[in-house]
């Protein structure tokens, strides 16, 4: 297992996050070198080089996280098994949340979305997230869009801001 792994340096360009870091409860950071053509890291979080795709969030990071405004896609398994994650803020330009992105985030209490249009997501994007307790905050002008959405509408508490 990877229970004692604390950091990962991504130097290869053949990196694939297929839920590789699930169970790595002490993993606190990802790093890259500046000349990596495909990946970058910011505050220990792994992104694609342009910063438009969030690839992996370390399981041992703090409980609150604001995804950078440049992010358009949350990659598959990127927050998988992040037991510490309680509150997340997702940016205005977010378009897609891939499969299993927030799976097993049992302690997720709130998701604040700035996107006017509900980002594309599938059921497994939020597998094992307690949709009865987790509050979804969305723009007032988009409240009905989120409530009618087949995935986002599964959250019991959708609140406008």
Partners of residue 48 on adjacent β-strands: 39
- Comparing 33 with 144, the larger pLDDT belongs to 144
Dihedral sign (CA 103, 33, 29, 5): positive
The pLDDT value given to residue 25: 86
Above 90 in pLDDT, residue 65? yes
Residues ≥6 apart with Cβ < 8 Å to 32? 9, 10, 11, 39, 40, 41, 46
Q: Could you report the per-residue pLDDT of 88-133, keeping only the tens digit for each? A: 999 999 999 999 999 999 999 999 999 999 999 999 999 999 999 9
pLDDT at 34 over 90: no
Per-residue pLDDT, 22: 77
Question: Pick the residue with more confidence: 152 or 18?
Answer: 152
Distance CA 11, CA 88 (A): 28
With beta carbons less than 8 A apart as the criterion, state whether 26 and 1 touch. no
Task: Give which of 51, 106, 105 is closest to 78, Cα–Cα.
Answer: 105
What are phi and psi for residue 126, nearest 5 degrees?
Answer: -125, 30
Per the model's pLDDT, the better-predicted residue between 83 and 140 turns out to be: 140
Helices then strands, each counted (H, E), the chain: 1, 12
Residue closest to 119 by CA, chosen among 80, 83, 75, 72: 72
DSSP state of 72: -
Q: What pLDDT, in 10s, does the model give residues 146-157?
A: 999 999 999 999
**Collapsing DSSP states into helix, strand and coil, what is residue 87?**
strand
**64-66 and 87-90 beta bridge pairing:** parallel
Q: Which residue has the tokens 């307690």?
A: 130
């Amino acid at each position: 297992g990877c229970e004692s792994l604390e950091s990962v340096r991504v130097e290869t360009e053949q990196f694939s996050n297929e839920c590789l870091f699930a169970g790595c409860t002490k993993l606190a950071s990802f790093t890259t070198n500046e000349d990596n053509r495909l990946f970058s890291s910011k505050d220990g979080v792994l992104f694609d080089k342009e910063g438009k795709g969030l690839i992996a969030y370390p399981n041992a990071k703090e409980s609150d996280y604001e995804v950078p405004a440049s992010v358009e896609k949350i990659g598959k398994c990127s927050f998988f098994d992040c037991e510490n994650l309680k509150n997340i803020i997702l940016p205005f330009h977010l378009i897609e949340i891939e499969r299993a992105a927030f799976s097993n985030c049992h302690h997720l209490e709130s998701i604040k979305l700035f996107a006017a249009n509900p980002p594309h997501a599938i059921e497994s994007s939020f597998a094992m997230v307690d949709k009865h307790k987790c509050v979804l905050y969305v723009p007032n002008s988009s409240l009905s869009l989120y409530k009618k959405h087949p995935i986002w509408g599964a959250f019991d508490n959708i609140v406008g801001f």
